[in-house]
Structure 1
Amino acid sequence: MSDLNITSPDGPAREPSIGALISQTRNLSAEQVEQVLAYQRAHGLRFGDAAVKLGFASTDDVLFALAQQFQYPLAPSAGPAPSPELVSLSQPFGVQAEAFRAARSQLLMRLQQEGRERRALAVVSPEVGDGKSFFCANLAVALAQLGGRTLLIDADLRGPRQHELFHLEGEGGRTGLADILSGRAGQGVIRQVTGVPSLFVLPVGTPPPNPLELVERPAFGLLLRDLLGRFDHVLIDTPAAALGSDGTVIAARAGAAVVLARRHASRLASLQALVGSFDHSPAEILGVILNEH
């Protein structure tokens, strides 16, 4: 059973092996562990693969053990299941999650330019249904998986969704951004996401009747400046341009924006109009991303 040892006779404790993690998760008996080790030796397999072959563990158990060993956030097995839209969390080794990691790499290279002050990133799109909330939520998870403190702000004061995706209770997630900007916020406005220690969400809170006026107030810019000093990454979900100019105002406060378009859905004229609205904006457009989801 040396394969499962987590201490060294000559030094301090090592990181638990995959075998130890799977054994703990599935509460395997000593006899079952011996069977797995025998099967592993006989067939030249890894412990996790051998345990799956014998029916003592599932593929999800192996992925969960790998995530623990490499300190990589994965959807928790206990508690409410994550939204199926959070593919970066529920399917972190899938094709879609890899696409978000690729987008993360490209955007970070553009955001973290030497000599530039730190900026938040606003995600904007021309039409309702382009997938901004889906994109923001998964990009936020991907950023948090790097280990840096990541804040996702739901600034879509017209049709918020982040509180639904991350299971934050109450309409709009109880209190949130709108309550801060209107001077009515209390404690606990920013929530930590269960299972992802580095990820935090600031929901909309109480949906306001004057969304554009709230984000145009100096308080929004001051809030972003404060949050940029407290988090490594700040990502902002915004309303569609078809609903008003909120997105361009928010992007101007953030300093950087990425434009999202949806394949076979976004109209070229609307996309061109949105990009053109940034001609005299202090926000830099870092790129255009085509959503195929």
Structure 2
Amino acid sequence: MNAPTSGASVNAADLHDRPIGDLIRDARNLSAAEVEKVLSYQRQHGVRFGEAAVTLGLASPDDVLNALAQQFHYPLANAERRIASPELVTLLQPFSVQAEAIRAVRSQVTMRLTKADAPRQALAVISPDTGDGKTYFAANLAVALAQLGGRTLLVDADLRGPRQHEVFKVSNAAGLSSLLSGRTESQVIQSVEGVPGLFVLPCGPIPPNPLELIERPAFGLLVRELTAKFDHVVIDTAAGSLGSDACVVAAKCGAALVLTRKHKNKVSGLQDLVASMAGSSVQLLGAVVNEF
């Protein structure tokens, strides 16, 4: 990590060009004397600026991680987000086992969905039962895709028990149900603060006829429109045990990823879910076992 420079202020777009020492100094508001103390320790022990600052108690490991994130354009959660959205491990714990596993799935998804001369497809995340972790997984997969760059949209199509608006702390006054019922003309797709390129389309008010709304041609038209506007579209769904919603959503997306939870789902339930999509044009990309 480079030592800080005595330069003029720079805008946010230039943060990745600044030495990490500058970023840590500004984040911790270090005085000239404190910076010199860090530099002296750095020269004496042959370590990086960030390591020296942490050792001297003038910075925290999070300060160093945040500085690296700014340099490499890698979104990380701030303190408020950590309290408000503890499920977003890809932002909170980027080097955890869970985050690494989600990035591994991201690699498989992008390889299998990205085909030359093929129309872009949305990805439905489906599972047999409630509590399998679809919301958690879909949210973190969307964050991981956004961290690649480009534009990613997460759609909450669980019209029976939606939670994505709670995870991302966005308004749920209007959303997918409002669009499909023709009850709103306002902008319902919301950007996620602190995660450039990530957007959320929440469920909106829970309707009395969720399956009928999804089965209407309007939903398929909406999916095609969204895939044309975004690089990645991830769609959360209702549990398979609650009805046919997930299968209908998957068919209209064109691709699906099956999620199952270790020590919770029965093999028969998983088989029934997969069998219910037999004969449809949906591409099953694979299955993910949720161990958490």
Q: How large is the RMSD of aligned CA atoms in angstroms?
A: 1.6
Where does residue 158 of structure 1 map in the other structure? 160
Matching residue's letter, 1:130: D
- When residues 276 and 79 of structure 1 are mapped into structure 2, their CA distance, relative to the original with a 3 A threshold, is closer
Residues 256, 283 of structure 1: 8 Å contact kept: yes
1:159-238 paired onto structure 2 within 5 Å: 159-169=161-171, 173-238=172-237
Q: Report the Cα offset of residue 77 of structure 1.
A: 3.4
Distance in 1 of aligned mates of 2:19 and 2:79 = 20
Question: Structure 1 residue 43: deviation in Å?
Answer: 1.2
Unaligned runs of 5+ in 1: none
Q: Does 1:125 align with 2:124?
A: no
Residue 6 of structure 1 contacts residue 15 of structure 1 at CA under 8 Å; is this kept in 2?
no
- Structure-2 change in CA distance of 1:6 and 1:175 (3 Å): farther
Report the 3-state secondary structure (helix = DSSP H, G, I; strand = E; otherwise coil) of the residue aligned with 1:81: helix
Look up the match of 1:4: 4
Counterpart amino acid of residue 163 in structure 1: H
**8 Å Cα contact 2:3/2:20 also seen in 1:** no
Does residue 262 of the first structure (1) align with residue 261 of the second (2)?
Answer: yes
Indicate whether 1:61 and 2:63 are aligned: yes
State the AA in 2 paired with 1:157: L
Letter in 1 for 2:39: L
Letter in 2 for 1:70: F
Distance 1:17 1:194 in 2: 25
Q: What is aligned with 1:243?
A: 242
Give distance in 2, aligned partners of 1:80 and 1:50: 26
Match of 1:83 in 2: 85
Contact 1:255 1:284 in 2 (8 A): yes
Higher helix share: 2
Is the Cα–Cα contact under 8 Å of residues 124 and 241 in structure 1 kept in the other structure? yes
Deviation at 1:78, TM superposition (A): 5.0
Other-structure match for 2:11: none
1:23 corresponds to which letter in structure 2?
R
Name the CA distance, whole Å, in 1 between partners of 2:229 and 2:186.
16
- Secondary structure in 1 aligned to 2:73? coil
Secondary structure class of the residue paired with 2:27 = helix
How far does the alpha carbon of each residue in 1:154-207 deviate from its partner, in whole angstroms, 9 at most, with x for none?
A: 0000000100100114xxx11100000000123230110110011000000111
CA deviation vs aligned residue, 1:33-53 (integer Å, no higher than 9, x gap): 000011111111111111111
**Gaps (5+ residues) in structure 2?**
9-13
Task: Specify the code of the residue in structure 2 equivalent to 1:108.
Answer: T
Alignment of 1:93-104 (within 5 A): 93-104=95-106
Displacement of 1:93 = 2.0
**Are the equivalent residues in 2 in contact too, given 1:153–1:201 (CA < 8 A)?**
yes
Question: Could you tell me the TM-score, scaled by structure 2's length?
Answer: 0.94
Identity of aligned residues (%): 60
Q: Which residue identity does 2:140 align to in structure 1?
A: N
The superposition leaves residues 109-144 of structure 1 with CA deviations (integer Å, 9 ceiling, x where unpaired) of 111122321100000000111100000000000000
Deviation at 1:96, TM superposition (A): 1.1
Letter in 1 for 2:5: N
1:201 partner letter: V
Write the distance in 2 (CA, Å) between the matches of 1:139 and 1:129: 17
* Alpha-carbon distance change, 290 to 25 in structure 1, aligned in 2, over 3 angstroms: same
Q: Aligned partner of 1:289: which letter?
A: V
Amino acid in the other structure paired with 1:3:
A
- 8 Å contact 2:256–2:284 — kept in the other structure? yes
Cα distance in 2, alignment partners of residues 228 and 5 from structure 1: 44
The structure 2 residue matched to 1:28, chosen from 21, 30, 39, is 30
Going from structure 1 to structure 2, the CA distance change for 1:79 and 1:250 (only over 3 Å counts) comes to closer
Q: How far has the Cα of 1:148 moved from its partner? A: 1.4
In the alignment, the residues of structure 2 paired with residue 78 and residue 160 of structure 1 have an alpha-carbon distance, to the nearest angstrom, of 23
